[in-house]
Amino acid sequence: MAIVHTVPHRTTPPRPTSRDAGIDLVRAVCVSVVVMLHALMVGVTVDRTGPVFENAAENATWFVPLTWVAQVMPVFFVIGGFAGLHAYRRLREGGGTAVDFVTRRLHRLVLPAMLSIATVGVLLAILTISGVPADLVQIAGFRYSQPLWFLGVFLLCQSLLPTLVAAHERAPFLTILGIVALAVVVDGIRGVSGIEAVGLLNLAFVWLALQQLGFFLAEGRIDALRRRTRGLAGLTAVAILASTFAAGIFSPDLLVNLNPATTALLLVGVAQTAVLSLLRRPITNLSRHPWATAFTAFVTARTMTIYLWHMPVLLTMAGVCALLAMNDVLALPEPSGVAWWLTRPLWVVVALGLTAGTAWAFAGGERRRMPESTRSAYRALQAVLLGLVAVVVLLVAGTSVLTAAIAVSTFLLSLRCIRVPRRVDGSLGPEEIPDHRAARSQWATERRCSSSRYSRVVSGCSSPVPQSTTTP
C-alpha cells in the first residue's frame, strides 16, 4: 500500500508560500460530488397515508457502481493532510504553536456547525408546533444527523495533526505504517468477533492514515516517484480492493464501507492519491482558468458551510415537493424509474444552486475572525473533547429540539474554552503566560500582598500595599 519514498538530495521538504490552486480545485470538486451524491439519494413520494421519505439508493442496482466513482472522502482526507501540513508549518515559521493551530481549526469548524444545528433545531420545533407528524420530524432530524460524522472525524484529525506532524518528521514511514496496522487489526477483530462496535475505532485510524498519506503528497515524495511506479501502485490497490469484494471481505458498496470506515477506504485512498499525483500538472493548468478560479475560491471559503447546509436544503426540497404533491400540484415519480431519472438533472442542479445560495448567506460564521485564543494546551484539549461530545450526541440520538440544544450549548462551552481566560482585573491568567511556574508564583505573591491590609511591605512584595482610607 505504500507508494512513497525518500526524495534524494533533499534535506528539508519544500515549503510553498501560497495555496496550491490545483489541490484546492480538487477539494472543491469533492465537496460538490458529495452534494450531488446525497441529492441522488433523496427519495420522496406520496401514498394514501401521506408523504414517504426514503433513501432512493437503498437496494438500487445503479448505486454500487456509482460509489466507485463518487466515494471521494478518502482523497478529501488526503488533501486535508496536504493542506494541513503546509498550514501548520507556515504557522510555526511565523512563531505560532500547535495550540494555535488546533484552536484556529476548531473555531472554523465549530462556529458554522453551531449555526447550522441551532437553525435546524428551531425548524424542527416549528414543524412540531405546526402539527407535522412526529415520525416525519424524527426522520428529518435523523437524515440531517447522518453526514455529521464527517464534522467529528475531521475535527479529531485536524486536532491531532500537530502531534502526527511531529511523529512524521521523526519517523514518517513508521508512523503511517503503524496507523495502517492499527486499522487492519481493528477490521480483523471486527470480522472475527462479529462485534460491529469494534469497527468504530477505525473512525480514527482509517482517516488518520489517509491524512498521513497527505503529508507525503505535500512534501513531494509521491510526485518524485516515476510515473510507472505511481500507476502500478494505484492499479495494485484497485486489484487488491477488487479481490476483497470477490472474497466477500468488504462490500462493493463503498458507502457501506464508510459506516464505520474500513481498510477498503485505505485502498481507495491509495488509488485516488496515485491518480491525483499523475494528474497534478493538468489539474493545476485547469485551475488557472477564470471559471475554475472563481469556483474554487467560492467553495474554499465556504467548504464547511456547504457541507453543513446541503442536507437541510435537500430535506427542505423534499418537504416542498411532498407538499405540492399532496395538493395535486406536482406528480412525484417512483425512485429509480425512468421518469425519476429524467427529472434528476434538474433536481441536482436546483440542489447545487440552493446549497450555493445558502452557503453564500451563512458563510459569515466560517469566515468570522477568531478572537484572541488560549495558549493553554489543556484548555484546547477541553475544547476539542467538548466539540466531539456535541457531535456524538447528534449521531447517537439523532437531531431533535432537545439534542440540538444540548449540542449548541456544548459547542458554546467549547468555543469558550479556546478564548483567553482573564482575571477580574482584566489581566491574563497564569496558564496564558509562557512561563507558567513563574506566573503562578507571581500570582500567588500578588494575592498575599493584596490581602495584607495593615502591612506596607510584605515579604516578596516589590511595592507597598496602599492603606485603606475608609473610616470604620
CB 371 within 8 A of CB 419: yes
Q: How far is the C-alpha of 30 from the C-alpha of 40, rounded, in Å?
A: 15
pLDDT at site 328: 85
Radius of gyration (Cα) for the chain, nearest Å? Answer: 26
Question: Is 16 within a domain?
Answer: no
Question: Is 141 within a domain?
Answer: yes
Name the amino acid, one letter, at 371: P
Q: Which three cell numbers stand for residue 286?
A: 485547469
Question: Is 392 within a domain?
Answer: no
Q: Tell me the whole-structure pTM to 2 decimals.
A: 0.85
Q: How far is the C-alpha of 340 from the C-alpha of 317, rounded, in Å?
A: 15
Output the CA torsion 93→97→101→106 (10° steps): -160
Q: How far apart are the first and last CA of the chain?
A: 81
Question: Is 456 within a domain?
Answer: no
Contacts of 81 (CB under 8 A, 6+ apart): 157, 161, 210, 211, 212, 213, 214, 215, 217, 218
Question: Is 246 within a domain?
Answer: yes
pLDDT at site 433: 53
DSSP secondary structure string, 253-293? Answer: -TTTTBTTB-THHHHHHHHHHHHHHHTHHHHHHHHTSHHHH
CB 411 within 8 A of CB 387: yes
Tally of domains in the chain: 1
Q: Which residues pair with 52 in a beta bridge?
A: 45
Write down how long the chain is.
472
Q: How far is the C-alpha of 197 from the C-alpha of 449, rounded, in Å?
A: 57
Q: Mean pLDDT by 10-residue block, N- to C-terminus, for the chain (472 residues)?
A: 45 56 96 96 88 89 94 97 96 94 94 95 94 90 94 96 97 97 96 91 97 97 96 97 95 91 96 97 95 95 95 94 90 92 96 96 77 87 96 95 97 92 55 50 50 43 41 34
Q: How far is the C-alpha of 305 from the C-alpha of 356, rounded, in Å?
A: 9
What is the domain extent for residue 166? 21-363
pLDDT at site 469: 39
Question: Is 306 within a domain?
Answer: yes
Question: Is 4 within a domain?
Answer: no
Q: Which residues pair with 374 in a beta bridge?
A: none
CB 180 within 8 A of CB 188: no
Of 159, 114, 104, nearest to 371 (Cα)? 104
pLDDT at site 18: 61
Question: Is 73 within a domain?
Answer: yes
- H helices of 14-97, where? 21-40, 63-70, 73-93
